[in-house]
Amino acid sequence: MALEPFTYEDIYELLRAEKFATDLEEIPKNDLARIKAYLKSKEELLKKQEDATSILSSQKKIRIQQEIDNAIRALKDLYEIREKKIINRSIYGTRTGSQFKDTTNMLANEVNLYEQLLTVLHNQKEIFFKMIDKATPTKAPEATQKGEEDHPENKSDKPKIVFVDITCIQDCPEMFGEDLEKYGPFKPGEDCKLPEQLCTILENQGKVKRKQ
């Protein structure tokens, strides 16, 4: 049985509910399918109007395009609100040191983002304290001699990021590595280089495999 597509009001209601909720609201998979059906139906209506030349058809085309633009804007706002909640949840989990991963009401791509953030935040905290532990006094700027900045003892103690050659097995969404850079999205069969820790996460999820 085919699902009835959403209206713009239905999409706005999702946004409104998310905006006023303190935590993530549930978005059923059927709702995602209904949003897709709504956008598809509007695109089809818009395409039909492209062949018409009357003033009435032109006005209708403008209204349809405005409705599509408003719906896309509402969906972007919905994503950004949910993104902020996921970031806050990952920060809370890192600061409390909890081993429990709270993925309640998260979509599949949001679970990936949450787990990556937990890993990055945890690693960066460890790196911060290691840098303090290894820190050494430096000379005052006025005493620095030419070429002295290249001396091994004066180089900053930055953690080295190891990259791994991988092949994607499943679709991978856009992700953050431990270097806080964005990677992806990637398609099955696509080859790329990923930071070691991010590679390990995706490897454990069965999404990628390392090249030999």
Sequence spans of domains, the chain: 8-96, 119-139+150-210
Evaluate whether 74 touches 86 at the Cβ level (below 8 Å).
no
Which has the closest alpha carbon to 32: 10, 63, 17?
10
Kindly tell me if the per-residue pLDDT of 26 is higher than 80.
yes
Per-residue pLDDT at 46: 86
**For the whole model, what pTM was predicted?**
0.61
Rounded distance, CA 133 to CA 98, Å?
25
Per-residue pLDDT at 193: 85
**163-168/175-176 β-pairing:** unpaired
Evaluate whether 186 touches 171 at the Cβ level (below 8 Å).
yes
**Given this structure, which CATH class describes domain 8-96?**
mainly alpha
Which has the closest alpha carbon to 40: 68, 1, 73?
68
DSSP tally for the chain: helices H, then strands E: 5, 5
Confidence of residue 53 (pLDDT cuts 50, 70, 90): low
Rounded distance, CA 166 to CA 126, Å?
26
Look up the CATH number of domain 119-139+150-210. 3.40.5.50
Rounded distance, CA 195 to CA 181, Å?
10
Q: Do the domains 8-96 and 119-139+150-210 sit in the same CATH topology, yes or no? A: no
Question: Which has more pLDDT, 144 or 31?
Answer: 31
